[in-house]
A = this chain, B = another copy of it.
Amino acid sequence: MQLESLLKAYGETTDRTISARIPAIDQPPGRLHEAMRYSALAPGKRLRPALVFLSAAAVSADEVPGVELAAASVELVHAFSLIHDDLPAIDNDDLRRGRPTCHRQFDEATAILAGDALFALAFRMALEAPNGAAVAAVLADASFRLVQGEAQDIYAEGTETSPEVLVFIHAQKTAALIAATCQMGALVAGADAETVEHFRQYGEKVGLAFQIADDILNVTATAEALGKASGSDAARGKATYPAAFGLDQSRTMAQQLVEEAISLVPSEPLKQLARFSIERVS
């Protein structure tokens, strides 16, 4: 199957799995459940769950029942982190994926709690995946690093950020969760420790490349193409790769990371996905 069709199928499975587990809107508190659905099922690429599916498929030729639970759990953590990052006290964003952010569509209290509830649900689902305890532990570690990265990002705003700190922030904020998806996929498929480590490294590199591409897009793309305000990072004095290294060198670094990632995994779709992660800016 072509990568695009694969991603579409994985995304649909992920959304179905998530939708089945968020309580219905007619169950109290309905507004909370509505906000959870609004954010977790928002249109998106579902890149992280796809990496779980693809990593599992790269390890096990047979289908792995329950892999969709690990995939969905990662998407829930991603959705939780976006909701909280968008809050007025943090990034104060009005748009996300082309739609009002959760706190703009509902209210701030609902957004905070919807994020919290998605986070709790994520762990519940991760634990039900094959090798659930190990899968959930990886998810918890990555979530912790993600929050650390977001905090570091805020504290660095408007200050002179060294390239070292910038790399640290991006590694924590984006690469940690993407690395976790690849580890989780390998774990549910029963991979040995060395293989899991290769998938982790692949994910770390792709995640970093992806974040660099995001930084570049924030500078070069239109608001319409982004689904959020363009140039918002610069306006906010955010630490970004283009600001630290320039656009050209940032592109080169992203490409280098993708090449390294590709050498680590035997899977053709994972190699393609690594290239795809920076295609928008190459």
Q: Do A150 and B113 touch (CB < 8 A)?
A: yes
Question: How many copies of this chain sit in the oligomeric assembly?
Answer: 2
Interface size range on A against B:
35 or more
- Quick one: CB contact mask for A132-148 with B, threshold 8 Å, 1 for yes? 11001101110110011
A99 in contact (CB, < 8 A): no
Stretch of A8-16, A45-53, A118-126 with 4 or more beta carbons under 8 angstroms from chain B? A118-126
Query: Which residues A76-134 have CB closer than 8 A to chain B?
Result: 80, 84, 87, 89-90, 107-110, 112-113, 115-117, 119-121, 123-124, 127, 132-133
Partner of A136 from B133, B144, B147 at Cβ < 8 Å: B133
Partner of A154 from B109, B124, B137 at Cβ < 8 Å: B109
Stretch of A26-34, A56-64, A196-204, A265-273 with 4 or more beta carbons under 8 angstroms from chain B? A26-34
Docked complex Cα distance between A68 and B84 (Å): 30
Query: Which residues A211-240 have CB closer than 8 A to chain B?
Result: none
Closest Cβ neighbor of A111 among chain B residues? B89
- Quick one: CB contact mask for A231-253 with B, threshold 8 Å, 1 for yes? 00000000000000000000000
A152 in contact (CB, < 8 A): yes
Q: Do A32 and B109 touch (CB < 8 A)?
A: no
A80: B residues at CB distance < 8 A: 116
Q: Do A123 and B136 touch (CB < 8 A)?
A: yes
Partner of A90 from B89, B109, B123 at Cβ < 8 Å: B109
A119: B residues at CB distance < 8 A: 116, 119-120
Query: Which residues A1-42 have CB closer than 8 A to chain B?
Result: 23, 28-29, 31-32
Partner of A144 from B87, B115, B117, B144 at Cβ < 8 Å: B117
Which 8 interchain pairs have the tightest Cβ spacing? A89-B108, A32-B151, A124-B140, A133-B133, A120-B144, A120-B143, A29-B151, A123-B140
Interfacial residues, chain A to chain B (CB-CB below 8 A): 23, 28-29, 31-32, 80, 84, 87, 89-90, 107-110, 112-113, 115-117, 119-121, 123-124, 127, 132-133, 136-137, 139-141, 143-144, 147-148, 150-152, 154-155, 165, 168
What would be 23 A-B contacts, judged by CB atoms less than 8 Å apart?
Answer: A28-B165, A28-B168, A29-B152, A32-B147, A80-B116, A84-B112, A89-B108, A89-B112, A90-B112, A109-B151, A110-B151, A110-B154, A113-B150, A115-B116, A116-B116, A117-B147, A117-B151, A120-B140, A120-B147, A124-B144, A127-B136, A127-B140, A136-B136
